């Protein structure tokens, strides 16, 4: 050991015992077999075998950063949430970006929705807003989510993502037409995580101090401006730098170029939901900005990188069921399913005590639940009683619900969502297409035609079914797509 080494900390085992030799395993003589008594060797190998937790089934590939959310407008007339209670109030946040379909080793620059999962470390506990970079999604009922994701993942026979599966499902699920138009348009491949919008996507409930309820949608508009990649640019970037988005985010924060988003909401009085022209709880639909204008409420800035990707990004968990007083769910069927599925996925993937990890635990308050034991439990509750009620000064309920009750009626059973005056699966997709410039429409059609050309030659029915859905959204849209696909398929 050199004099310089004496000033360095001592390498130890997990139990804290000093390690004498980390270069050579213990053997029976210089050339003999290994000894089972070598604690350092077996601890290292056993830990290495278990270093990877199961990757997320969806949103596996991601990057994250810490930041702050600053309130810029008085919203107390709509919500009693404390972290939104006064102009200038700041709340620490953690934001995880992700792609949806790719696995942990996939490239960033691909055509795929981007996850936008935001954790607010509020004084009333953590509030998780789990959204995407699109305001809509492919399906409207959580029961279809496993089916949809199976079409995006590897085929059980070929081991690859198959255009047959993707377009077969989309063609048979016409409610996907709106989101597919988003996905294959210019914004389908963001240039970076910094250059895209974020959306809560679902409808949520806000409740004010008087108990009055409102429906709300969240929008986070990038202050860096929208920048996208063409399919050709993305193919080159994905091959040359598969970590492009993660690298861009980290390096921007390192150089002090902190990315930011301006936060807006749309507010709908509860009484207006029943007669709104679109079902306000349908995840495949947007609320018209003409009907419910954007209201600016805050500024989100990312200003600190994680120190350890595994501990803080891979082990971060988000659940739409993590609400705070003044904010709650809506009858959105996709949201209702996610209230269960996300937390359940994390219990399986990370462990029953995942919420006790530093990135997940509340920062401004202490969690005082009666949960004990299980994997990762650190004994933080000591000898405190783990039941309620108790007479040992244990935590007690408030008696005040976090959000307003939702009025329900009718018989239990499986029901299709009620149709509103202008509800169908194609009108908003057509509106989106007609909002695009001629050049944007051309790129959208080309992107879709390239993808549809990958469908098996003997499954022309899948191609025609898909084209028909786009034709129902807009006749010109379908006509141009049919011509482009015909060109590519000869």
Return the CA Rg of the chain: 26
Nearest partner of 115 among 128, 127, 126, judged by Cα: 128
The percent helix, strand, coil of the chain (3-state, each to 5) is 30, 15, 50
Rounded CA-CA distance 241/218 in Å is 32
Does the CA dihedral 348-350-356-360 come out positive or negative? negative
- Do 386 and 372 touch, CB atoms closer than 8 A? yes
What letter does residue 19 receive in the DSSP assignment?
P
**Cα separation, 59 vs 64, whole angstroms:** 12
303 is catalytic: no
Q: Which residues pair with 286 in a beta bridge?
A: none
Residue keyed to tokens 């209670």: 85
Taking CA atoms, 466 is separated from 173, 186, 271, 430, 478, in Å, by 10, 20, 37, 14, 9
Residues β-bridged to residue 207? 213
User: Which residues are paired to 301 by β-bridges?
Assistant: 68, 260
CA–CA separation, 87 and 297 (whole Å): 9
Return the structure tokens found at 74: 């008085």
Dihedral sign (CA 226, 227, 231, 237): negative
Q: Which of 59, 178, 195, 197 is catalytic?
A: 59
Tokens of 472: 């129902």
Q: Which residue has tokens 């202490």?
A: 366
d(CA 65, CA 4): 35
Q: Which two tokens stand for residue 381?
A: 């509750």
Both structure tokens of 323: 């609400």
- CA distances, 480 to each of 69, 364, 464, 476 (Å): 44, 55, 13, 6
Q: How far apart are CA 419 and CA 282, in angstroms?
A: 10
Backbone phi, psi, residue 120, to 5°: -100, 120
Q: Is 132 a catalytic site residue?
A: yes
Q: Which helix (H) or strand (E) holds 449?
A: helix 438-452
271: burial class by Cβ within 10 Å (0-12, 13-18, 19+)? Answer: exposed
Catalytic residue among 24, 49, 126, 132: 132
Contact present, 118 and 128 (Cβ < 8 Å)? yes
Catalytic machinery residues: 59, 132
């Amino acid at each position: 050991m050199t004099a310089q080494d004496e000033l360095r900390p001592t390498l130890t085992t997990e139990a804290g015992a000093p390690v004498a030799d980390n270069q050579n395993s213990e053997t029976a003589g210089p050339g003999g077999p290994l000894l089972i008594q070598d604690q350092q060797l077996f601890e290292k190998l056993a830990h290495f075998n278990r270093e990877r937790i199961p990757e997320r089934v969806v949103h596996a590939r991601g990057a994250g950063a810490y930041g702050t959310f600053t309130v810029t407008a008085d919203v107390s007339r709509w919500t009693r949430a404390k972290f939104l209670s006064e102009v200038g109030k700041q709340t620490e946040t953690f934001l995880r970006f992700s792609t949806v379909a790719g696995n942990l080793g996939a490239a960033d620059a691909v055509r795929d929705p981007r996850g936008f999962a935001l954790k607010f470390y509020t004084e009333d506990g953590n509030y998780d807003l789990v959204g995407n970079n699109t305001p809509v999604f492919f399906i409207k009922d959580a029961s279809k989510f496993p089916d949809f994701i199976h079409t995006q993942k590897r085929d059980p026979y070929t081991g690859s993502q198959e255009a047959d599966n993707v377009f077969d499902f989309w063609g048979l699920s016409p409610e996907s037409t709106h989101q597919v138009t988003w996905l294959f348009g210019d914004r389908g491949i963001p240039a970076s995580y910094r250059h895209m919008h974020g959306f809560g996507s679902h409808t949520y409930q806000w409740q004010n101090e008087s108990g009055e309820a409102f429906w709300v949608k969240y929008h986070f508009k990038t202050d860096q401006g929208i920048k996208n990649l063409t399919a050709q640019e993305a193919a080159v970037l994905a091959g040359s730098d598969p970590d492009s988005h993660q690298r861009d985010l980290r390096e921007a924060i390192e150089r002090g170029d902190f990315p930011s988003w301006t936060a807006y909401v749309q507010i709908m009085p509860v009484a207006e939901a029943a007669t709104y022209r679109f079902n306000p709880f349908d995840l495949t639909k947007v609320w018209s900005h003409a009907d419910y204008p954007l209201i600016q409420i805050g500024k989100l800035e990312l200003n600190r990188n994680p120190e350890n990707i595994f501990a803080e990004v891979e082990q971060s968990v988000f659940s739409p069921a993590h609400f705070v007083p003044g904010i709650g769910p809506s009858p959105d069927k996709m949201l209702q399913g996610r209230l269960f599925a996300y937390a359940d996925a994390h219990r399986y993937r990370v462990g029953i005590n995942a919420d006790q990890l530093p990135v997940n635990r509340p920062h401004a308050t202490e969690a005082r639940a009666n949960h004990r034991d299980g994997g990762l439990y650190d004994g933080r509750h000591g000898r405190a009683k783990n039941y309620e009620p108790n007479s040992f000064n244990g935590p007690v309920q408030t008696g005040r619900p976090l959000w307003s009750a939702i009025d329900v009626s009718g018989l239990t059973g499986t029901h299709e969502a009620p149709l509103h005056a202008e509800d169908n699966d194609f009108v908003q997709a057509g509106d989106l297409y007609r909002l695009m410039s001629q050049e944007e429409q051309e790129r959208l059609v080309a992107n879709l035609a390239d993808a549809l050309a990958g469908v098996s030659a003997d499954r022309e029915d899948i191609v025609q079914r898909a084209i028909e859905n786009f034709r129902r959204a807009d006749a010109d849209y379908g006509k141009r797509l049919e011509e482009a696909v015909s060109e590519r398929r000869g």
